[in-house]
Structure 1
């Protein structure tokens, strides 16, 4: 790994010392360093590398921040499957698993070729208006259809492989990857799905019918959601970062993306220990 990009989000006084220490370490190893715009801002520098440079030139992307920062790095990489090392400076950190205190030691191991990769499934989504694509995007976590008016509910039809599954009247609907199963879907009552699996989780948000429960489907399924907005204001959010207001009736199609995200994780990772820690099971607090 000769060229490493760093994507850092400002987190008070915690980021800059670690960032400077990391840059010094990489420079001594003869590594070319690419700095995303926010990374340069943390260092007080005006020169930075563009998203395209990071996407095309980097052999590794190091993220200093939380899960949201890592997801922004995934968006920068686009179709590229460049490995990502996430250093947790946020709170929960389901994706940024490496502790700040272990960052340099982990980075050294990676440069020495001693690391473990996890492939994470992504979803590919089309937003259609009158059968024409108006937006096409990949997500690592989820896409969320949600009401914008407080007192309204949304009417939606869910089809899987062209077969009608359900007509929803609800506050919204979430389509999540296994990685995203511990995000908004979990808060809405969805199941925890091991991230090594390749499935889709469909979770209604506060459905009017109490029998409408979350479902898990295979990764070769094609999901179609037809939204009947009427006079209600409806929005759709992709990975919590890309937002669109839907002011007319639209159709959203979702299927497994053709590329994945590759995360560098601790070699001794125990997913169930991570869940216990992050969710506070058995009295364990994160």
Structure 2
């Protein structure tokens, strides 16, 4: 996790506002639009923005990320939550005035989190690539998935089970956690490989626990059976037939968030999301 400054502080800030369909989200979006539209320091546009304001929940932030995943080197994100407390959001819907105050005082600071690149090679020679903020999962549709798992060119296991998940540090608190994976702080530039309902008995053996993979290492998945596979990249779903190989690696790029005084620390987010105020 890094914090840096943009160099050009005198330009007009281009802002994109993206909201889900909920009434409260639209209400917040309308307020922001009416205020920022009349502020000469900002220019409202969804084309090549400097800042993307996501209004809704973590799902909305994921959608905003994928909408601008080709512009990550220049875009910063900030989330306003209109439901329960979101993991990627700093502001609640009753804190819009505080957000606007911090937006006007913004000096270009950012906090950056690692993301994941995935490449899918099909038997017929086609190739598919994608980028994930949270995780990528793969499952075989017809029957049990059987695949060799290779880490940094070492064949670790022949997996048998429902599927496999590879998560980023920030994604470690999502589906990965529900599978028994560890919570990984985003300052560790690493991936986490977690099994989904693996078969472990006297005949079939796997590592069984999640594995933390350093940024320099690749994870390769080699399916041993043809058939239909479903691959989820965050909140997007893809269907493929006859997957030859899936390769996972930490991306050279990162997602950048506004580093406002309200930017909540990772451990505070973990506490708010899973423990609450009881302790």
TM-score normalised by the chain length of structure 1: 0.83
Provide structure 2 residue ranges, at least 5 long, that are not aligned to the other structure: 1-11, 201-205
Task: Tell me by how many angstroms 1:274 deviates.
Answer: 2.0
2:240 to 243, 246, 253: 246
As a proportion of its length, which structure holds more strand?
A: 2
Q: Which of 54, 70, 87 is equivalent to 1:63?
A: 54
- The Cα offsets for residues 113-153 of structure 1, whole Å up to 9 and x where unpaired, read as 2675220111111110138342111111110012434xx32
Which residue matches 1:229? 225
Per the TM alignment, residue 254 of structure 1 is displaced from its structure 2 partner at its CA by 1.1
1:252–1:278 Cα change, 3 Å: same
Q: 1:63 to 1:15 in 2, by over 3 A?
A: same
Using the alignment, how far apart are the partners of 1:112 and 1:169 within structure 2? 53
Matched, 1:72 2:68: no
Q: 1:224-282 CA distances to partner (integer Å, 9 max, x unpaired)?
A: 11112345x421111121x2223214210111212110012553523323212211367
Q: CA deviation at 1:219?
A: 0.8
Show the counterpart of 1:267.
261
More helix by share: 1
Q: What are structure 1's unaligned runs of at least 5 residues?
A: 35-48
In structure 2, the partner of 1:132 is 125
Structure 1 residue 14: Cα displacement = 0.7
Q: 1:230, 1:113 → 2: CA distance?
A: 52
Cα deviation, residue 171, structure 1:
0.8
Deviation at 1:90, TM superposition (A): 3.6
| Match status 1:84 vs 2:80 | no
Q: How many residues align?
A: 259
Q: Is the 8 A contact 2:122 2:241 kept in 1?
A: no
Q: Distance in 2 between the 1:266 and 1:112 partners?
A: 9
Contact 2:179 2:196 in 1 (8 A): yes
Q: Is 1:29 aligned to residue 39 of structure 2?
A: yes
1:220 matched residue in structure 2: 216
CA distance in 2 between partners of 1:221 and 1:131 (Å): 27
Distance change in 2, residues 1:138/1:114 (3 Å): same
1:97 CA drift (Å):
2.8
Cα RMSD between the aligned structures? 2.1
Aligned to 2:114: 121
Query: In the TM superposition, what are the counterparts of 1:96-245 in structure 2 within 5 Å?
Result: 96-113=89-106, 117-130=110-123, 132-149=125-142, 152-209=143-200, 211-230=207-226, 233-241=228-236, 243-245=237-239
Higher relative contact order (CA 8 A, sep 6+): 2
TM-score (norm: length of structure 2): 0.85
Partner of 1:197, secondary structure, is: coil
* 210-219 vs 250-259, greater mean Cα deviation: 210-219
Alignment partner, residue 27 of structure 2: 17
Distance 2:93 2:108 in 1: 17
